[in-house]
Amino acid sequence: MSKEKVVLAYSGGLDTTAIIPWLKENFDYEVICCCIDCGQAEELDGLEERAKLSGASKLYIENIIDEFCDDYIMPCVKAGAVYENKYLLGTSMARPVIAKKLVEIARKEGATAICHGATGKGNDQIRFELGIKALAPDIKIIAPWRMTDIWTMQSREDEIEYCMQHGIDLPFDAKHSYSRDRNLWHISHEGLELEDPANEPNYDDLLVLGVTPEKAPDEGEYVTMTFEAGVPKSINGKEMKVSDIITELNALGGKHGVGIIDIVENRVVGMKSRGVYETPGGTILMAAHEQLEELVLDRATYEVKKDLGNKFAQIVYEGKWFTPLREAIQAFIDVTQQYVTGEVKFKLYKGNIIKAGETSPYSLYSESLASFTTGELYDHHDAEGFINLFGLPLKVRAMKMQEIEKQK
């Protein structure tokens, strides 16, 4: 009788490597590793050998960069989805597409379980598991870090020791470095001095994608971008697919110290956590998109879109991607993007994105209306009646208050 199969979300790191023999020892599973490439840019070479050496029967390496960009990042950009005014959802957006791939491979392999290496204190366990539950309610989920009765390892040293006992002698480093998560959109840093919010981040050790504004060039750089229906199409006249645009913007943003945030955020599980996020390209793309939007969206739509953008950010942060609510808000957002077409120009300079002009065939800005000369459409006298009606509730209340004062 063949063994039951488990699909393990595999990064090649120490945690997920130690999980391979652990799964075999405690559950007698056949372990199928799955490494999902969302643009980590980390060395994916040698992963197969590492997974097999550690006891996995198979390794899938799935490149999903374009799907991640087109179907997960772009809806968030169009929505202007930013969590708690700062966080551009770099890790949050990637989790549902990873969960979707894990489910696809589990189905293909006839696996009965999926295992992930997320800790029991973070948001990622929620995002992975809500995704799996929504797409495959019958598949069992194994989260070793929450199974403290049988997962007894407490430190990197413990994990290295466990691997060696199981014949896995790999060049893992026992020293604790920042806990990082990287994909095409961003890189997050937690741990070490960041664990105390009183400490300033040690940016020289920390930054991976760029430099601090102080170390950025003294010369600003102009960038021109075009959009069609809310989707970026070109940089400086060169047409590219979305993933290449983000890659190019990452290089530009990193060079000029753009997109570094230091945040104490509220996790879904109820605690505050402190992290530094680098999102150079994403920060520029969001700003450029917003720059064009202000030209073409009417006031009432813009107002509702802002509210729903916040809601969308919360939904994505909480791992509720595969829900009717996310689909419904995304449908609203898509309608608002119909005319977000045009060109924006801006200058990158020492951490800043400085606007330098924008045009759109659908611009609602009318020079004759906005200028101080009187145009056809606007009669100054109309403003008087408008202000009288618009201010009527204030005036009625003030008269009432006066009356009450007199009676006193």
Catalytic residue selected from 50, 95, 182, 326: 95
- Report d(CA 244, CA 368) in Å as an integer: 39
Neighbours of 47 (CB within 10 A): 18
| Nearest of 97, 102, 127 to residue 6 by alpha carbon | 102
C-alpha distances out from residue 74 to 33, 105, 322, 408, Å: 29, 25, 16, 61
Q: For this structure, is 95 an active site residue?
A: yes
199-223 per-residue burial string, b: 16 or more CB within 10 A, e: under 16: eebebeebbebbbeeeebeeeeeeb
Place of tokens 């490494």: 35
Neighbours of 190 (CB within 10 A): 16
- Report d(CA 215, CA 199) in Å as an integer: 21
> Under a CB-based contact definition with an 8 Å cutoff, are residues 214 and 204 in contact?
no
SS3 290: helix
C-alpha count within 13 angstroms, C-beta hemisphere, residue 258: 26
Type of residue found at 255: K
- Report d(CA 122, CA 142) in Å as an integer: 15
Q: For this structure, is 124 an active site residue?
A: yes
Q: For this structure, is 15 an active site residue?
A: yes
Catalytic residue selected from 57, 179, 234, 273: 179
- Report d(CA 163, CA 157) in Å as an integer: 10
C-alpha distances out from residue 59 to 9, 42, 145, 173, 305, Å: 10, 17, 22, 23, 42
Catalytic residue selected from 54, 92, 124, 188: 124
| Nearest of 28, 39, 37 to residue 10 by alpha carbon | 37
Residues noted as catalytic: 15, 95, 124, 179
